Amino acid sequence: MSAAETTTAKVPPRRHSSPPAGDGRPSAAPRRTRLRLGQAATPWLLLAPCILVLVLVLGYPLIRLGTLSFQDYKKPQLWGFKPATWVGFDNYRAILGDSEFWSVVVRTIVFAGFCVLFTMVIGMLVALLLQRVSPWVRTLINIALVASWAMPVVVAVTVFKWMFDSDYGVVNWVLSQIPGVDYSGHNWFASGPEGLSVIMMQVVWGAIPFVVITLSAGLTQVPKELEEAARLDGAGAFGVFRYVTFPIIKPLVVMMTTLSVIWDMGVFAQVWLMRGGHPEPEFQLLTTYSYDRAFGVNDYATGSAIALLTVLLLLGVVAVYMRQMLKIGEVE
C-alpha cells in the first residue's frame, strides 16, 4: 500500500488549475537569492538520512539484483564456501527458454489484470453508491471498509482460507443451500483457476476500501451544479457520469489504476499463505516463482533474474506513473 495514499496528495485536478498558494514561492523568491550561497548545503543535510536509507536498502540491492542475475549463485556461494562466478546471459537464456516461465508470466498478467479491473469497477460503483445512501448506511459501509482495509493481510488470508475450507467452510455450506446445488466437500484449491479466483476475491476485498475512500474524496470535488445542469439537459444517470463526473476524477482513476497494477503484480503473501507456503505449479505467480527458485530450490541467481524480468515487465506501467510524476514535478 505504500504509494496508495500519496495519490490523494498528488493527483486531484484542482491543484493543477489553481497553483498552490502555500508553495512559498512568492515570498521565498527574494530570500532564495540571499540564502543560496551559504545555505545550499542545508536542504541536502536535511535530506541526507532519507536518501541514505533509500539508497542503502533500495538502491544498492537493486544493483545487486542485477549483478546476481548474471552469476552462478547457489548454496555454496550463499554460505561463502565458494566464490560466485559470472555466467553471462545463461540464467536469462534458461528462463526465457522455459515454457513454465512463460505460463507463469501469462498467469500473472491475467491475474493482475482481473484484480485491477474488479478493484476499480467495484470501487467506483461503491463510491458512487455512497453518495446516494442515507448517512447511517454510509457510516456502516465506511466502518466495514476501514475494517477490511486495516486487516493485516496474513489475517485476511487466514480468514478466507477458513471460509473456503472444503470440509467446514461456510461458503460451501451457503452455496449448497441453493436448491439443486451441492458444494459440500467442494475443494476450491484443487484447480488453479478456481483457487486463484478465491485469492483474487481476497485481494480485491482488501484493495477496494482504499479505492472507495479515495474516489469518494474525489467525487466531493465534482461541482453539484455541473451534474444538475447536465441532468436538466436531459442526460441520463450514465450520461452524467460519462461526460461530467468521470472526466473530473479521471486523473485520480488513472493514478489508482497504475498503482493497483503495480501492487497486484506484486501479490505474494496471499498466494504463499493460501497454499500453505508451497504454491502448486498452477498457482505460481512471478513473485512466488522467483521466491521459490531462490529460497526453495536454492538457485538465487535465477530467482534474481526472474525478479528483474518482473520489474522490466512493469516498466510500461512505470512509464505511465512517471509521466504523472513529471507533471507534478512541473507544477512544483
Partner 1 sequence: MKRKLIAAIGVATMIVGVAACGSNGDSGKSSASSITVWLTVDAQHNWPELVKAADDAIIAKHPGLKVKHEYYAWPDKNAKLDAVLATDNAPDVVEMGNTEMVPYMAEGAFAEVDPSKFDNSGAWLDGLKQSVMYDGKTYGVPYYAAARIATWRKDVAAAAGVSAAPKSWTELTGDLDKIQAKEGAKFSAWYQPSRDWYAAMSFVYDAGGAIAKQDGGQWKASLEDPAAIQGLNAWKAIEAKYMHGDLTKDESDRYIVYGQGKSAMMYAPGWEAPSAADPKFDKTGGKLKDNLVNFVLPGPSGKNMPVFLGGSDLAIPSKSKAQDLAAEWINDFTNTKGQQVLMGKGNLPNNNTQLATLESDPASAVTAEAAKISWFVPTAPGWGTVEKAKTLQDMLQAIATGKKSVEQAAKDADSAIDKVINVKN
Partner 2 sequence: MSAMTSSRAHTGSAPAVAAARRRRNAKLGWNALGLLVFALAAFPVYWMLNTAFKPAKDAIDPTPHFFPYPVSLENFRRALNISDFWGPVERSLIVSASTVVIGAAIGLLAALAISRFAFRGRKVVIVGILTVQMVPLVAMIIPVFLLLNQIHQIDKLSGLVLTYLTFILPFTVWTLRGFLVNIPKELEEAAMVDGCSRTGAFLRVVFPLLAPGLVATSIYGFIQAWNEFLYALLVMSQEHETATVWLGTFTTQHGTEYAPMMAGSTMMGIPVVILFLLVQRKMAAGLTAGAVKG
Q: How far apart are CA 19 and CA 233, in angstroms?
A: 32
Q: How far is CA 89 from CA 82, 86, 103, 148, in A?
A: 20, 9, 21, 44
Please identify which residue in 96, 106, 110, 137 interacts with partner 2, judged by CB under 8 A: 137
Q: Find the binder of partner 2 among 96, 106, 121, 140 (CB under 8 A).
A: 140
Instruction: Indicate whether 14 belongs to the interface with partner 2 (CB under 8 A).
Output: yes
For residue 86, the cross-strand partners are 71
Nearest approach, Cβ of 215 to partner 1 (angstroms)?
A: 36
Residue 42: CB minimum distance to partner 1, A: 6
Binding of partner 2 by 50 (CB under 8 A): yes
- Residue 164 CA from chain centroid, whole number: 24
**Contact by Cβ (8 Å): 251, 44:** no
Q: Which residue from 296, 314, 318, 324 is in contact with partner 1, where contact means CB under 8 A?
A: 296
Taking CB under 8 A as the criterion, the residue among 66, 184, 229, 239 binding partner 1 is 184
Residues within window 205-224 making contact with partner 2, judged by CB under 8 A: 205, 208-209, 213-214, 217-218, 221
- Name the grid cell of 262: 503495480
Interatomic CA distance for residues 274 and 292, integer angstroms: 15
Which residue in this structure is represented by grid cell 460519462? Answer: 242
- How far, in Å, are 73, 104, 238, 243, 299 from residue 68 at the CA level? 7, 21, 52, 51, 10
Find the binding residues for partner 2 in span 239-278 (CB under 8 A).
262, 265-266, 268-269, 272-273, 276-277
- The item of partner 1, partner 2, none sharing an interface with residue 134, based on CB under 5 to 8 Å by kind, is partner 2
Using CB under 8 A, pick the residue from 89, 102, 173, 246 that binds partner 2: 173
**Residue whose CB is less far from partner 1, 102 or 243:** 102
- Give CA–CA dist 196/119, Å, rounded: 15
Task: Confirm or reject binding of residue 304 to partner 2 (CB under 8 A).
Answer: yes
Interaction of residue 280 with partner 1, rule CB under 8 A = yes
